[in-house]
Structure 1
Amino acid sequence: MDKETIKKELADKSNELLAKYGEQDLVEDISVMNMATKTVFLGSLRVYNYDNAGKIKNDLEKKIKNYGEIAIRDEKIVPCCAPSYIHVSFNVSINK
Structure 2
Amino acid sequence: MTVLGVAALMLIINNQNLRKLTEEQENHIHTRMDDKDKKLKMCKESLDKSNAHIAEVELAMQTETQKVVEIKKNLEEMKIQMGKMMVIV
Please state which band the TM-score falls in when normalised by the shorter chain: under 0.3
Q: Which has the larger radius of gyration?
A: 2
Q: Which structure shows the bigger proportion of residues in helix conformation?
A: 2
Q: Which structure shows the bigger proportion of residues in strand conformation?
A: 1
Higher RCO (C-alpha 8 Å, min separation 6): 1
TM-score, normalising length from structure 1? 0.23
